[in-house]
Structure 1
Amino acid sequence: MTSVLNRQPDTMPQSAAMPSPFPPIEDYAFLSNCHTGALVATDGSVDWLCVPSFDSPSVFGSLLDRQAGNFRFGPYGVDHPVNRHYEPGTLVMRTTYRTPTGWVVVRDALTVYPRTEPDEVTKHTRPPTDEDADHMLVRTIECIEGRVEVEVICEPIFDYGRAPAQWEFAEGGSHLADATGGGVTIRMASDIALGIEGERLRGRHVLNIGESAFCALSWAKGLRTPADVTEATARLDATAHWWRTWLAVARIPDHRWREMLQRSALTVKGLTYMPTGATVAAATTSLPETPGGERNWDYRYTWMRDSTFTLQALHWLNLDWEADEFMQFIADLEPSEDGSLQIMYGIDGRRDLSESTLDDLTGYAGARPVRVGNGAYDQKQNDVFGAVLDSILLHTQRSQRLPRRLWPVVQSQAERATAVWREPDQGIWEARGEPQHYVSSKLMSWVAMDRAAKLAALRGSPDLAVTWQATAEEIRADILEHGVSPAGVFRQHYHTDALDASTLLAALFGFLPATDERLHKTVNAIADNLTENGFVLRYRTEETDDGMSGKEGTFLICSFWLVSGLAIVGEAQRARDLMEKLLKVASPLGLYAEEFDTETGRHLGNFPQAFSHLALIEAAARIILTERIQELS
């Protein structure tokens, strides 16, 4: 029976901190091999893993339903670690537990290893690298004091919790077992003796001081696995070395924010799909933007609007290889029938991302529906042209050449922007209400034509440069006539005076000089009137027809955009203060979801979110650059 004291009125919104069997989103660790990602809870349970790719059906789905499969490796009967951190410069997790009888350390990673043969698990369209994913989740445990009983519990439920595993022992007897379901087979290997209990695999073993054990889950070719704990440790060490070697190339300034910049760089890299060069928006689907609500989306795809922010961050960090890989992915994409690029694509470049719901899953803390696919993929969003062309210009200026295969993309996107910029669309936030003349879409249309003109000039096409720049100036005049309120502040769209954080793009993309009064007023209006406890909302849901119900949390990308906007208009100290505030609300492992609930201090939305980390890098870069210039003056 529910206690009267615990019963809440039906009309009371669900709190993000409501007692729940679901761990807080920000407590998860993120693992990646740049093919797929895993989320690991503090108790050592892998609650989310899709194989072989980010957007494959889940094998472990407890993130979205506590009965949808998980994989725990850790001390028996102890769920709360005393310490948990990434090994510095890596996405290898190290977790220390204290038990009544001793201490153990667990290491976890989706491993990367020297490549000895072509990858037949995932198709590569980019050049193979010397090291690549070996399609394993490797875990070791070492007793560092006393004696500790450890356990392995592996209960995969394939196809998003719809296909329970059928287990059978392989040739390794009780140390090697295969699970099959939903047309997928995975193999568990361990030096701990395992037993099949219905749909799960289980093992228990006592470790004394100095002793170690391992378990590894494989979906590799031939289901290969480590032979023993020595090989398992070697794969973990090789993975840590690979991450550190990669990070060593990145240009990370010696600054008080260095660690957060490194963690954001590692996270963005971890969200890249190495076979094609694409970047997923997040590793998950359907983590709620509103606690218990319906604002639940699948973010395991690549958005064109992310492209310019991705290129800015990668080039600023000196990660030119990754930037080029992403540009080649864009060049490979198939446009729509009218010649424009879609707003998003699958990480393999596919166009059809039809959305469906998984009605058998409870959703994270009751947030339903759980969605697979994203119905916004065929929406009309005019900001896509500017994002693509700005990214091509950034890349061209960095490399000092415009790749031949990208010029047709420039032409087609400029032509489509010219044709449609006057029309309403769904806007940057993919509103599911009526199309509007969103100011951010007009701003990005201006970006499209301004960057197209610059690219034409670089290519040696002066007539096109003049034509396209004239269109850019026509768009600018239209925005300044219709997109600015009587108070001198940029509107959300032409038929409202409501604020929208996306108008901060006017500052970020140089639409007006930094000294322009309208830019100052817009940045300050958002800082003063579109925030909760200093954190920025996308817009006020009660003022916006977005086709959904429920309130949202503050959007972390918008808050980082405000940092950049404040820095651009000369509010340096206010920018630094907000940046410090944002850095303090990172997860314990330095990660960010999409949103932040200022009332509870909890993260909301899909996790980890590439957009949040990309915006962090840009905001930090603007402040650091300002500080360095001041040092020289």
Structure 2
Amino acid sequence: MTSNSPASPFPPIAEYAFLSNCHTGALVAADGSVDWLCVPRFDSPSVFGSLLDRGAGEFRLAPYGINVPSTRAYDPGTNVLVTTWHTPTGWVEVRDALTMGPRTGEDATTPHTRPPADDDAEHLLVRTATCLDGSAEIELVCEPAFDYGRTRGTWTLDAPGGSTADITVGDVHLRLHTDLALGVEGGDSVRGRHVLNAGDTAFVALSWSASLDGPRDAADAAARITATREFWRRWLGRARLPDHRLRPYVERSALVIKGLTYMPTGATVAALTTSLPETPGGERNWDYRYTWIRDSTFTLQALHYLLLDWEADEFMQFVADVEPVEDGGLQIMYGIDGRRDLTESTRDELTGYQDARPVRIGNGAFDQRQNDVYGSVLDSILLHTRRSERLPARLWPLVEAQATCAAAIWKEPDQGIWEARGKPQHYVSSKIMCWVAMDRAAQLAAIRGEPELEAGWSATADEIKADILEHGLDGRGVLRQHYDTDALDASTLLAAHFGLLPGDDPRLHASVLAIADELTENGFVLRYRTDETDDGMSGKEGTFVICSFWLVSALMVVGEEQRALDLMERLLRIASPFGLYAEEFEVDAARHLGNVPQAFSHLALVEAAARIILAERVREMSL
């Protein structure tokens, strides 16, 4: 892919830092501006949306007239951002956090359907600025634009030059708390400036809680950030993180996965954002602030590998709670509150990130037929059952329904795992996942003591596998995208992931190497070649990060360990400065594309790292 992009007012996707309170998240640009924040939930309309239109709202706290910081990094083991600025007259440190604190009662802002934990979101974005040396003038600019930039409100100060300001649009109420003297410009922008000397600290906090409470002073603000830092480190301390060179990457991925989890229901959003483009300036722009059922098996595997069993159970309970469709199956995706209707619309008044249009709200693929969903659910239930050593009674009806649906539809074409908007096809990955559904259902029937169901479902699994091996291989014995093409598709790597064929099977080995050699750009994996696939869209796309991590895992499965290690090292080198991954990586321009941070990318990193670490540990034990 070639790129001749002119200078853009939009920061590179990789330069954004991610904050989370497990209810919503924010993206902070290098210049100190919060360019993305939706309140009170991940899928709420944005109040700061400069990510998608430079006039759609921002919130900046930084030295006046200085746009380039000296350093930016997370407090280790946290989702708390620390930015250091060097000004002509001094040094300043800014700390940013979506704060967490002890649960004090029912959350009236985002009510819980799961049992609440000891700590919960305060529904506050807290920012502190401390002068480390010399002096520096700090500037605050808070300019929300509600409903994805459509509506501007009017700030009201508690007093002229006061330190509290309120703004309300519809049912969204925001309150700004600070120790800076504030002024309002143009009604919708509140500003403050103050000179800090060495040792001085200023704070600003934005609240959208039901009470609109916030820090009383700078010491209180700093204490809330400290409590948030301790929350993340305490949470991470529960995870299994082996002493290994891959540990820092697994740690960051764990923090991302937790940060993308909606605590009130246990659902995990696919990404924080909507409409960051897969094709620069193109139309491949999607809303990923929902939970995909196909992610369930990868989420459960990652969480259980990390010994984060509480989070795994929360997600499994969310899946058990969602409403099935008419035939008893599950949709491919749901809202984080379990809602089914995710009707897609566009916001044509927004420029889009670097002119990539349209900006989409909702996701029109929610009612597509995708036959892989049944296998994802049943593999998740089997994994969870083995880990917890019991099959919860409330999950058995879900097992029966998904197995019945998979058995009934596996012969039918669908849109495939990539949600192609072309005509339905007999996608090989969908057949693989239907085999997974029946194979896992048979194993669950055995655990439950249902021999007749076990035998019937196992027979169907054998039938599906035979069909794949008869129609899903090309003339050289390589798994193909669908039955009517010889084109390759990275989703067939799932054959290695789920054990359709053993690692020493020559067909699996050939399929994995074909993708490694023929479906890559400079070693990074494409989903498919867009000129060989009817996906209903125009334009080329970047390499898919998850597919590259899948290839690492698949290479490990088929015994190509050195190739797997080499690819893993290359993937680690393209992480953002914060250890984050978007959905895609454009090789020629060496830049991230697509929504960020992408849960699927980080889930696949954990799996690939786990396979590498396990292989090394087994080898050590055999010495």
What TM-score comes out, normalization by structure 1 length? Answer: 0.97
AA aligned to 2:35 is D
Tell me which of 529, 532, 535 is aligned to 2:521: 532
Cα drift, residue 179 of structure 1: 1.3
Aligned partner of 1:133 in structure 2 is 121
Moved more, 218-227 or 148-157: 218-227
* Corresponding position: 1:116 with 2:104: yes
Letter in 1 for 2:25: G
- Deviations, residues 58-115 of structure 1 (Å, cap 9, x unaligned): 0000000000000000100111111110000000000000000000000000000011
| Cross-structure match for 2:613 | 624
Q: Which amino acid aligns with 2:343?
A: S
Partner of 1:402: 391
Alignment: residue pair count: 621
Per-residue displacement from partner, 1:541-580 (whole Å, max 9, x unpaired)? 0000000000000000000000000000000111000000
1:185: how far off?
1.2
Q: 1:232 aligns with which of 221, 228, 232?
A: 221
Matched, 1:418 2:444: no
The aligned counterpart of 1:365 is 354
Aligned match of 1:10? none
Question: Residue 557 of structure 2 aligns with which residue?
Answer: 568
Secondary structure of the equivalent of 1:163?
A: coil
1:213-235 per-residue CA deviation (whole Å, 9 max, x = no partner) reads 00000001221111101110110
The residue type equivalent to 2:471 in the other structure is H
Spell out the pairing of 1:457-496 with structure 2 (5 A cutoff).
457-496=446-485
User: Partner letter of residue 527 of structure 1?
Assistant: A
Q: Distance in 1 between matches of 2:366 and 2:448?
A: 32
Query: Is 1:351–2:340 an aligned residue pair?
Result: yes
Residues 166 and 370 of structure 1, relative CA distance in 2, 3 Å threshold: same
Contact map agreement 2:555 2:564 (CA 8 A) in 1: yes
TM-score (norm: length of structure 2):
0.99
Counterpart of 1:611, as a letter, is F
Which letter does structure 1 place at the counterpart of 2:621? L
Q: Secondary structure at the match of 1:207?
A: strand
Does the Cα contact within 8 Å between 1:439 and 1:492 map onto a contact in 2? yes
Report deviation, 1:441. Answer: 0.1
1:287 equivalent to 2:276? Answer yes
1:311 matched to 2:300? The reply is yes
Equivalent in the alignment of 2:60: 72
- Corresponding residue to 1:552 among 527, 541, 547: 541
In the TM superposition, what is the alpha-carbon distance from 1:18 to its structure 2 partner? Answer: 3.4
**Alpha-carbon distance in 2 for matches of 1:628, 1:16:** 46
Name the counterpart of 1:105.
93
CA contact (8 A) 1:42 1:79 kept: yes
Tell me how far apart the structure 2 counterparts of residues 378 and 16 of structure 1 sit (CA, whole Å): 37
- 1:38 is the counterpart of 2:23: no
> Residues 372 and 431 of structure 2 are in contact (CA less than 8 Å); yes or no, is this contact kept in structure 1?
yes
What is the CA–CA distance in structure 2 between the aligned matches of 1:538 and 1:55, rounded to whole Å? 27
- Contact 2:160–2:183 under 8 Å retained in 1: no
Conserved 8 A contact 1:594-1:605: yes
Residue among 585, 588, 596 paired with 1:599: 588
In the alignment, structure 1 residue 94 sits paired with structure 2 residue 73: no
Conserved 8 A contact 1:157-1:181: no
Deviation at 1:16, TM superposition (A): 7.5
1:123 deviation in Å?
A: 1.7
Secondary structure, in 3 states, of the residue corresponding to 1:340?
coil
Give distance in 2, aligned partners of 1:609 and 1:416.
29
Partner of 1:162: 150
For the structure 1 residues 171 and 403, does the alpha-carbon distance in structure 2 shift closer, same or farther, using more than 3 Å as the test? farther
- 2:514 is matched by which residue type in structure 1? A
Shift in Å at residue 180 of structure 1? 1.6
Amino acid across the alignment from 1:515 = D
Query: 1:25: which partner in 2?
Result: 13
Q: What SS does the aligned partner of 1:583 have? A: helix
SS in 2 for 1:398: helix
**1:465-507 Cα shifts (integer Å, max 9, x gaps):** 1100000000000000000001100010000000000000000
**SS at the partner of 2:117?**
coil
Q: In 1, distance between residues paired with 2:499 and 2:478?
A: 16
- Identify the match of residue 288 of structure 2 among 299, 304, 318: 299
**Deviations 1:318-346 (Å, cap 9, x if unpaired)?**
00000000000001000001111000000
Kindly state the Cα deviation for residue 17 of structure 1 after the two structures are TM-superposed. Answer: 4.9
2:169 is the counterpart of 1:181: yes
Alpha-carbon distance between aligned partners in 2 of 1:115 and 1:224, rounded to the nearest angstrom: 14
In the alignment, which of 196, 199, 205 is matched to residue 184 of structure 2? 196
The percent identity for this pair of structures is: 71
CA RMSD, Structure 1 to Structure 2 (Å):
0.9
Contact 2:2 2:589 in 1 (8 A): no
Match of 2:49 in 1: 61
Counterpart amino acid of residue 77 in structure 1: G
Distance in 2 (CA, whole Å) between partners of 1:512 and 1:546 is 28
Deviations 1:380-435 (A, max 9, x none): 00000000000000000000001111101000000000000000000000000000
Partner SS state of residue 164, structure 1: coil
Cα drift, residue 182 of structure 1: 3.9
Note the C-alpha offset of 1:170. Answer: 3.2
Distance between the aligned counterparts of 1:626 and 1:258, measured in 2? 15
CA contact 1:281–1:302 (8 Å) conserved in 2: yes
Return 5+ residue gaps in structure 1 as ranges. Answer: 1-12
Shift of 1:183: 3.0
CA contact (8 A) 2:128 2:221 kept: yes
* Alpha-carbon distance in 1 for matches of 2:171, 2:235: 35
Q: Tell me which amino acid in the other structure corresponds to 1:94.
A: V
CA contact (8 A) 2:2 2:588 kept: no
* Residue 329, structure 1, aligned to residue 326, structure 2: no
State yes or no: 1:246 paired with 2:246.
no
2:260, 2:47 → 1: CA distance? Answer: 19
Given the superposition, is the C-alpha separation of residues 171 and 418 from structure 1 closer, same or farther in structure 2, using an over 3 Å criterion? farther
Structure 1 residue matching 2:192: 3-state secondary structure = strand
Check if 1:145 corresponds to 2:133: yes
Give 1:441's match in structure 2, choosing from 407, 425, 430: 430
Structure 1 residue 339 and structure 2 residue 328: aligned?
yes
CA contact (8 A) 1:16 1:291 kept: no
- Alpha-carbon displacement from aligned partner over 1:158-204 (angstroms, at most 9, x marks no partner): 00000112111137961000012243110001000010101100000
Question: Which residue of 194, 213, 219 maps to 1:205?
Answer: 194
CA distance in 2, matches of 1:388, 1:111: 33
1:300 shift after superposition: 0.1
- Segment of structure 1 superposing worse, 44-53 or 115-124: 115-124
Retained in 1: the 8 A contact 2:271–2:595? yes
**Maintained 8 Å contact 1:483/1:493:** yes
2-side partners of 1:318 and 1:502: how far apart?
Answer: 27
How far apart, in 1, do the equivalents of 2:118 and 2:237 lie? 17
- Match of residue 260 from structure 1: 249
Q: Distance in 1 between matches of 2:617 and 2:396?
A: 36
Aligned to 2:86, the other structure's residue is in SS state strand
Instruction: Tell me if 1:578 matches 2:595.
Output: no
The equivalent of 1:9 in structure 2 is none
The alpha-carbon deviation at position 138 of structure 1 amounts to 0.2
> CA–CA distance in 1 between the matches of 2:356 and 2:441?
43
SS at match of 1:428: coil
